Amino acid sequence: MPAQNAQVLFPVNVDGPFDYEVPYGMEIVPGDFVFAPIGQQMKLGVVWGLQPAEDGRSLKPLAQKKSCPSLPPIMLKFVDWTARYNCASPGMVLRMVMSSYKALEPSPVVTHFRPSGNTDLRLTAARQIILDKGGPFPARASEIAERAGVSAGVVRGFAEIGGLLAESLPVDQAFQIPDPDQEGLDLSAGQRDAAEKLIAIQKKPGFSVSLLDGVTGSGKTEVYFEAAAEALKQGGQVLVLVPEIALTQAGMKRFEARFGAVPAPWHSALGDAERRRVWREVASGRAKLVVGARSALYLPYPNLQLTVVDEEHDTSYKQEEGVIYNARDMAVVRAMLSKQSVILASATPTLESLVNARMGRYNHIVLPERPGAITLPDIDLVDLKDHPPEKGDFLSEPIIEAAWTALSRGEQAMFYLNRRGYAPLIICRHCGDKLKSPDTDSWLVEHKKTGRAICHQTGFSMRMPKVCPSCHAEDSLTSVGPGVERIAEEAARHFPEARIEILSSDTSGNPEMIRQRMARMEQGEIDILVGTQMVVKGHNFPNLTFVGVVDGDLSLVGGDPRAGERTYQTLVQVAGRAGRADKSGHALIQTHQPQHEALQALAAGDRERFIAAELSMREMLGLPPYGRLAGVVVSGPDVKRTEDLAHKFVSLAPRAEGIEILGPSEPPLARLRGRFRRRILIQANAGIDLSAYMRNWRQRMKVPSKYRLHVDIDPQSFM
Ligand SMILES: [Zn+2]
């Protein structure tokens, strides 16, 4: 065999692979894990490519091939694509893929025991009990001991004389195999029709994207289950991406009910042992059904046949730190590279996906019905100029009355406000100072329940001060504006008899607490739920018939070009909580801007009108999907130097037609965790390869240490 060189990519912040000599006799292929020297260290990397050795070029040799399965070839392409598109380091993308080093080792083993069937042994009473009560076998010594009420030493002693046989079993068990033929839920005619279409698409080989578009409660999950069943029948792997917050036990139970097997889970809170188990089982192809948050996309599936992105509009698919990417978009890329199919599901699809569907690039599958329900709720606007709440209050007369009506019928009501805590702002009446986070340009939020003032950007928290930190006046601090705690307090005044609870990420702490509160709401043990964003993620409250949106204007302000769309999506999802099964619902939205197009279209129940207005506005301004955006954030410890760097970067921009550069400017979060920030926005015509442009530009500047420059392709956050 002629001498070869190997390119090896390491999971570190580098621009590409390094070259090594392949030692004589070492057989490797791309995707193999190898140890190779980098600086003074020996590091684990992945063979990215092989080439005939060049004469006269002397390279360090690879140290060793790791004996473990290699990465599937598709993952190499996917890493490169992700890095190129998002202007990220391929090494850092590989690091996302290598998320469990322990998964590269075989599972640890544990000794199990089972009866040997040897009848020649003298059985003491304790040994007889082990045989009678120690099962089911095989089991660990400790399990047998506990069931039999003896010590583990007695169990081991029995094994030593031959009464029990010991065997080593892997700690990491395989996942149950999902059964696609198990009977699903009864589908309505409309659902059946949509499911048939998706099954037909799944049967055709090759790349496809389908937008599954249906109002809240139309049964999208049951419909994509059928496409998943088809992919499983073909022997492939299926990945269902869901927003992290929807990864509750209740959510997993639906998969179990349909496929008779618990899916492999993947999310940020997974422990090391479970992480290692899932990674290894996915890599081997044995885990057939994975349900996970966005990073589950970077597990090494050798045979992925279908990816479902549920709630495709959800902003949590965008990773904002480290490698900045949008898992929804990367799922489509992954499918394109491996020629498989993707389903994007949503009640409120993004305009980008809708336009792709209308242009025929995506299959558009619409679920028009809401089985069992009469209609979507009636949505009305409450103009706060005409119906101002009482002084110091935030709930207007019409909202209070509508809630009364629901409660008097024995039904439930919900007040929605996407603001945690008691008040978003604490101000001193004496000197006018606002309480700010010490190292971040963000106001502290009062949390009355815990008696603390908290920064929601960084998690900084302090006891609510008794005196003003600036002027030291006593009892001068006053709370401005509403948070969910304050709305709950106000609701308790209006509805003294009602059982009122708050649902937000800090009142409810962990996912299990959230699940319990959801269950109480579902079972009618709560009359009024006051909730944040948390409540909009696809939960079923059959007896909830009224939703009051406290501040419909909240997300209409700010520099985010998708603000109108976000407001529309959120309000549709919130209003969609009202009225399920056999009861019709009603939603009221309080607003200072009743003329806003998003709110008007919402009140009219006219999605088409909203989409048309929003699209024509975006077309006029050249915003996505008619143009492309990239964001750049420059940050560092010194304000002047950060500003200078941002200006210098702008001056280095390559000249190109159809590109407009805005900024640098001071973003709303001009300081975060002690670092100053400047933002640059790049707007490009639709046909331009903005990733290539940004990559070229980025390479023109070396950023000094302690300073950072992040490129964000298709930014979702403008903070
Ligand atoms: Zn003061």
Range of the domain at 606: 378-419+482-617
In this prediction, residues 10-27 reach a mean pLDDT of 93
Give mean pLDDT, residues 471-490.
92
Q: Of 74 and 603, which is predicted with more confidence?
A: 74
Residue 179 lies in a domain: no
Q: Given 48, 81, 104, which residue is the final one in a domain?
A: 104
Which of 459, 481, 503 is the C-terminal boundary of a domain? 481
List the structure tokens of 369.
């019905």
Please report the sign of the dihedral spanned by the C-alpha atoms of residue 557, residue 480, residue 536, residue 610. Answer: negative
Helices 249-259 and 220-233 sit at what angle, rounded to 10 degrees? 50
Ligand 1 center–CA 474 separation, angstroms: 8
Query: Rounded to the nearest whole angstrom, what is the distance from the C-alpha of residue 549 to the centroid of ligand 1?
Result: 33
In a domain? residue 181: no
The pLDDT tens digits for 421-441 are 898 889 999 998 889 888 888
pLDDT for residue 91: 97
Residue 654: CATH number of its domain = 3.30.70.600
Same domain flag for 392 and 531: yes
Q: 467 CA distance to ligand 1 centroid (A)? A: 8
Instruction: Answer yes or no: is 184 within a domain.
Output: no
- How far, in Å, from the CA of 475 to the mean position of ligand 1? 10
* Residue 574: exposure state from Cβ atoms within 10 A (0-12, 13-18, ≥19): buried
Residue 519 has pLDDT above 90, yes or no: no
Pairwise CA distance, residues 581 & 47, whole Å = 55
Q: Domain holding 193: CATH number?
A: 3.40.50.300
Q: Measure the CA–CA gap between 676 and 713, rounded to whole angstroms.
A: 21
Å from CA of 489 to ligand 1 middle: 26
Is there a single domain that holds both residue 309 and residue 354?
Answer: yes
The answer on pLDDT for 372 being more than 70 is no
Per-residue model confidence (pLDDT) at position 373: 46
Q: Is residue 501 domain-shared with residue 389, that is, in the same domain?
A: yes
Q: Is residue 68 part of a domain?
A: yes
Q: Quote the pLDDT of residue 370.
A: 59
- Determine the Cα–Cα distance for residues 543 and 40; give it in Å rounded to an integer: 65
**3-state DSSP of 534-579:** HHHCCCCCCCEEEEEECCCCCCCCCCCCCHHHHHHHHHHHHHCCCC
Q: What is the 3-state secondary structure (H, E, C) of 476-535?
A: CEEEECCCHHHHHHHHHHHCCCCCEEEECHHHHCCHHHHHHHHHHHHCCCCCEEEECHHH
Give me ligand 1 centre to Cα 427, in Å. Answer: 8
Question: 463 CA to middle of ligand 1, Å?
Answer: 17
Distance (angstroms) between ligand 1 centre and the Cα of 70 equals 63
- pLDDT at residue 581 above 70? no
Within this chain, do residues 224 and 312 fall inside the same structural domain, yes or no?
Answer: yes
Q: Which of 590, 617, 644 is the last residue of a domain?
A: 617
How far is ligand 1, taken at its centre, from the CA of residue 434, in Å? 8
In this prediction, residue 538 carries a pLDDT of: 55
Ligand 1 centre to CA of 389 (Å) is 28
- Do 610 and 653 sit in the same domain of this protein? no
Ligand 1 centroid from CA 428, angstroms: 5
Ligand 1 centroid – CA 677 distance (Å) = 28
| Ligand 1 geometric centre to CA of 466 (Å) | 11
CA of 301 to the centre of ligand 1 (A): 58
Tell me, what's the pLDDT at 371? 52
Residue type, 578: A
pLDDT digits (tens, 9 = 90+) for 402-423: 999 999 999 999 998 888 889 8
Position 692 in a domain: yes
Regarding whether 698 and 554 lie in a shared domain, the answer is no
CA 507 to ligand 1 center in whole angstroms: 29
Cα dihedral sign, 412-415-418-419: negative
pLDDT score recorded for residue 582: 63
- The confidence band for 530, taking pLDDT boundaries of 50, 70 and 90, is very high
Whether 341 and 385 share a structural domain: no
- pLDDT tens digits along 151-178: 888 888 888 888 888 888 888 889 999 9
| Half-sphere exposure of residue 99: CA atoms within 13 angstroms, side-chain side | 24
Distance 444 CA to ligand 1 centre (A): 15
Q: 420: CA distance to ligand 1 center in Å?
A: 24
**What is the distance in A from the centroid of ligand 1 to the CA of 432?**
6
Residues 405 and 354 occupy one common structural domain: no
Asked if 98 and 142 sit in the same domain, the reply is no
Confidence of residue 652 (pLDDT cuts 50, 70, 90): very high
Distance 431 CA to ligand 1 centre (A): 4
Q: What is the DSSP letter of 76?
A: H
Q: Which two tokens stand for residue 289?
A: 């059904």
276 inside domain: yes
Distance 16 CA to ligand 1 centre (A): 54
Tell whether the model's pLDDT for residue 374 goes beyond 50.
Answer: no
Residue 541, in any domain of the structure: yes
Q: Are residues 515 and 598 both part of a single domain?
A: yes
Q: Which helix (H) or strand (E) holds 453?
A: strand 452-454
Distance 482 CA to ligand 1 centre (A): 21
Ligand 1 center–CA 469 separation, angstroms: 7
Span 584-637, pLDDT tens digits: 788 899 999 898 887 888 888 888 888 888 888 888 888 888 999 999 999 999
What is the arithmetic mean of pLDDT over 272-287?
Answer: 95
CATH code where residue 26 lies? 3.40.1440.60
C-beta atoms surrounding 252 within 10 Å: 16
485 CA from centroid of ligand 1 (Å): 24
Q: Domain total for the chain? A: 6
Cβ proximity of 73 and 50 under 8 Å: no
Q: Is 143 helix (H, G, I), strand (E, B) or coil?
A: helix
Please check the confidence at residue 185 and state whether its pLDDT lies above 90: no
Cα of 454 vs centre of ligand 1, distance in Å, is 18
Between helix 125-133 and helix 152-160 the angle, nearest 10°, is 100
159 and 82 both lie in a single domain: no
**Ligand 1 centroid – CA 435 distance (Å):** 9
Q: What is the pLDDT of residue 186?
A: 83
Ligand 1 centroid from CA 522, angstroms: 45
Query: For the chain, what is the mean pLDDT?
Result: 89
Cis omega before residue 72 (within 30°)? Answer: no
When mean pLDDT is compared across 493-507, 571-585, 679-693, the lowest value belongs to 571-585
641 within domain boundaries: yes
Question: Residue 479 C-alpha to ligand 1 middle, in angstroms?
Answer: 13
Same domain? For 214 and 339 the reply is yes
CB 547 within 8 A of CB 587: yes
